[in-house]
Amino acid sequence: MHLGHVISSKLNDCKDIENRRCNFIGQTNNVLCYFGKLDSVTKHKLFSTYCSNMYGCQLWSLDDSSVNDLCSAWRKGLRRIWSVPYNTHGNILYGLSGDLPIYDEICKRSLHFIATCWRHSCDLISFFARHGITCARGTSLFGRNITTCSAQYTVSEFLAGTVDINAVVRQYCRNTETKDQTRMYQFMRDLIVCMTETVDMCFIKRRTDELCDIINFLAVN
């Protein structure tokens, strides 16, 4: 362990990502244990505040299979936060939350770190970043991550510093959604809020059950 990072003898990120996944699961359990009776919108705000620490993810290799395990755990946590079925589609979870998909969030932070090193005022840092990307893509962390991100984003614009990384990644995620999907996400969110208010106002239980049935149907279809 060094500065919060788990360093393994295999010189890969598996142990570090696994440690972060376990910490995330523990933090999510704590939020649900202490604040489980709050409405889903409030629980999501607490989730974003206390469970979204991705310190050091800029140094992870994006093609490591452990990243997929972390993303899977993240989606399970969101399902529990929003009280939706276990098989709710991932895009619906992020649509309800209004957040970037966790994989895109990690990619965004990695790209920002690489672009900062690329344009760094220190010649040594800039040289290592440029060498890793242009000459050693197969063996360099920067090179592999740039190759992975190139499948989704226009990385040349990031390195040149001509665009805002956060804006471009968010725009990419919005482009994957249709207007009908966006309206459905908002409708589901409104239903979840309505269901919470219905319980608080002690309306008849049958109405709450009907809302649950609608939410569950939309979540998995």
Is residue 6 one of the residues assigned to a domain? no
Report whether 191 contacts 168 (CB < 8 A): no
In the numeric block, which tokens belong to residue 207? 């109405």
What is residue 201's DSSP assignment? T
∠ CA 29-32-38, nearest 5°, is: 170
- Residue 26 makes CB contacts below 8 A (sequence gap 6+) with none
Q: Is 43 helix (H, G, I), strand (E, B) or coil?
A: helix
Is residue 8 one of the residues assigned to a domain? no
Q: Is 12 helix (H, G, I), strand (E, B) or coil?
A: coil
In 3D space, the residue among 73, 103, 87 whose CA is nearest the CA of residue 169 turns out to be: 103
Domain housing 79:
14-99+178-220
Report whether 24 contacts 74 (CB < 8 A): yes
What are the residues facing 5 on neighbouring strands?
Answer: 2
In 3D space, the residue among 2, 129, 100, 5 whose CA is nearest the CA of residue 57 turns out to be: 5
Does 95 share its domain with 18? yes
How far apart are the C-alpha atoms of 129 and 138, rounded to whole Å?
Answer: 14
Is residue 169 one of the residues assigned to a domain? yes
pLDDT tens series, the chain, 221 aa: 555 667 776 677 888 899 999 999 999 999 999 998 898 999 999 999 999 888 889 989 998 889 999 999 999 999 999 989 888 988 899 989 988 999 999 999 999 999 899 989 999 999 999 999 888 877 888 999 998 888 888 777 677 666 788 888 888 888 888 888 888 888 888 888 877 665 444 444 555 677 778 777 888 77
In the numeric block, which tokens belong to residue 120? 């760094």
What are the residues facing 2 on neighbouring strands?
Answer: 5
Does 38 share its domain with 93? yes
Does 125 share its domain with 200? no
Answer left, alpha or beta for residue 161, where phi above 0 means left and psi between -120 and 50 means alpha.
left
Does 92 share its domain with 193? yes
Q: Is 217 helix (H, G, I), strand (E, B) or coil?
A: helix
Is residue 164 one of the residues assigned to a domain? yes
The Cβ of residue 168 has, within 10 Å, a number of other Cβ atoms equal to 17
Does 116 share its domain with 60? no
How far apart are the C-alpha atoms of 45 and 12, rounded to whole Å?
Answer: 33
State residue 110's pLDDT score: 93
Phi, psi at 137, each rounded to 5° = -60, -35
Is residue 2 one of the residues assigned to a domain? no
Does 145 share its domain with 52? no
Does 95 share its domain with 158? no
The Cβ of residue 189 has, within 10 Å, a number of other Cβ atoms equal to 19
In the numeric block, which tokens belong to residue 121? 């005022």
Is residue 72 one of the residues assigned to a domain? yes
